[in-house]
Amino acid sequence: MTKINMEKTNAILSAVAAEFQELDLIFARGSDLDVVEKGYARKLIHAISTENKVLKKAISYCEEAIQMRRRIYGEDTAHPGIALSLNNLGNVWGKLGDNRKAVSYHEQALRMRWSLYGEGTAHPDIAQSLFNVGLSWNKLGDHRKAISYHEQTLQMYRSIHVKNAAHPLIASSLNDLGAAWFRLGDHRKAVRYYEQALQMRRTIYGDGTPHSDIAASLYNLGNNWGFLRDIGKAFDYHGQALQMRWSIHGEDTAHPDIAESLRSVGAACDCLGYPQYACMFQGMASQMIRECKGNEDFSP
């Protein structure tokens, strides 16, 4: 991490710590804590995007937030602020790669949100927790459990956004279900969900609009058709993904998404019997990966 980034991170953490110190005083004055909680959440988003040692500091701040809120609202009280802190702890542990702890905190947040809003209620916070639990189980390799939670998430987002049938969160849920079925090896089911996600994203952003979510859907479909041994379709989708990623990032830009698509187009060319083109695309991908790794902002 550069010196400038570390200074920014320390400033963020100091600001979060200062908010915690002020929390009791604000509550004692009878003020509304919503502003403090929202400020804390915004700052935490910045904190959890940094390196591991900063994430570990973020964990201590999340734990302090839970203790402080339980002192304020009661040890056994269900409160949106406590649920938010449990959710944030799950996010941070997930960032650190401890998905067992992540799923534990996300399940606690989910149970509290069910208690607050009702288990059968379509509420954005419940949908968020269902998504997070599903994501954690996916990372732990229990894809059937993940599918169960992702299906609940999809149903809830459809209930919440019933007036806007094409919504980014619905498209993301369809994509998550495609990914889970892909990991289970059912590529036909994965294709069905990925196609729905692609159609919805084109409706949301525009059929001819270059967008990273549309490019990701095209890439995912290319992968699935490759596993289904329809190399022509795989090549077509990977080619579309590559063209879109060039449009988004620039043809002369070294970007990991472009490198990923170059490599996939090369693999499809090889399977189609064009080794000279495969070699060309694979060479371009390898060169771009080296350039990306030379960039301090690259995250593999």
* Residues 204 and 282 grouped into a single domain: yes
pLDDT tens sequence across 49-66: 555 666 777 787 778 878
Is 188 a domain residue?
yes
Higher pLDDT, 97 or 236: 236
Is 118 a domain residue?
yes
pLDDT tens sequence across 107-117: 999 999 999 99
* Residues 181 and 264 grouped into a single domain: yes
* Residues 264 and 230 grouped into a single domain: yes
Is 103 a domain residue?
yes
| CATH code of 118's domain | 1.25.40.10
Higher pLDDT, 163 or 110: 110
Which of 77, 100, 127 is the last residue before a domain boundary?
77
Residues in the chain: 300
Burial (0-12, 13-18, 19+ Cβ within 10 Å), 192: middle
Per-residue pLDDT at 11 exceeds 60: no
245: Cβ–Cβ under 8 A, 6 or more apart, which residues? 212, 215, 255, 257, 258, 261
Segment 231-258 shows an average pLDDT of 96
pLDDT tens sequence across 190-202: 999 999 999 999 9
Per-residue pLDDT at 3 exceeds 50: no
pLDDT score for 71? 82
Quote the CA–CA distance of 261 and 277 in Å, as a whole number.
Answer: 14
Any idea which of 16-30, 91-105, 170-184 has the lowest mean pLDDT? 16-30
Q: List phi, psi (to 5°) of 140.
A: -80, -5
Is 158 a domain residue?
no
Instruction: Look at the chain and report how many structural domains it folds into.
Output: 3
pLDDT score for 184? 95
* Residues 69 and 95 grouped into a single domain: no
Q: Which of 244, 228, 167 is nearest to 199 (CA)?
A: 167
Segment 279-299 shows an average pLDDT of 79
* Residues 63 and 110 grouped into a single domain: no
* Residues 33 and 89 grouped into a single domain: no
With tokens 């904190």, the residue in question is 47
Q: DSSP letters along 218-250, please?
A: HHHHHHHHHHTT-HHHHHHHHHHHHHHHHHHH-
Which of 35, 55, 77 is the last residue before a domain boundary?
77
* Residues 10 and 118 grouped into a single domain: no
Is 160 a domain residue?
no
Q: List phi, psi (to 5°) of 267.
A: -65, -40
Q: Which domain holds residue 101?
A: 84-153
pTM of the model: 0.77
* Residues 142 and 193 grouped into a single domain: no
Per-residue pLDDT at 300 exceeds 80: no
Higher pLDDT, 20 or 243: 243
Q: Which of 83, 44, 86 is nearest to 63 (CA)?
A: 86
pLDDT score for 76? 82
Is 161 a domain residue?
no
CA dihedral sign, ordered 5, 11, 15, 17: positive
Residue 167 DSSP one-character state: -
Q: Cα separations (Å) of 183 from 6, 151, 223?
A: 37, 16, 12
* Residues 105 and 59 grouped into a single domain: no
* Residues 97 and 221 grouped into a single domain: no
Is 159 a domain residue?
no
Which of 18, 47, 77 is the last residue before a domain boundary?
77
Q: What is the mean pLDDT of the chain?
A: 84
pLDDT score for 47? 52
Burial (0-12, 13-18, 19+ Cβ within 10 Å), 179: buried
* Residues 67 and 103 grouped into a single domain: no
Higher pLDDT, 117 or 294: 117
Higher pLDDT, 294 or 93: 93
Which pair of structure tokens corresponds to residue 60? 């201590």
Higher pLDDT, 73 or 16: 73
Per-residue pLDDT at 20 exceeds 60: no
Give residue 6's pLDDT band: very low, low, confident or very high (50, 70, 90). Answer: very low
Do the beta carbons of residue 267 and residue 226 sit within 8 Å? yes
Do the beta carbons of residue 173 and residue 150 sit within 8 Å? yes
Segment 236-256 shows an average pLDDT of 95
Segment 212-221 shows an average pLDDT of 98
* Residues 256 and 182 grouped into a single domain: yes
Segment 95-109 shows an average pLDDT of 94
Burial (0-12, 13-18, 19+ Cβ within 10 Å), 198: buried
Is 117 a domain residue?
yes
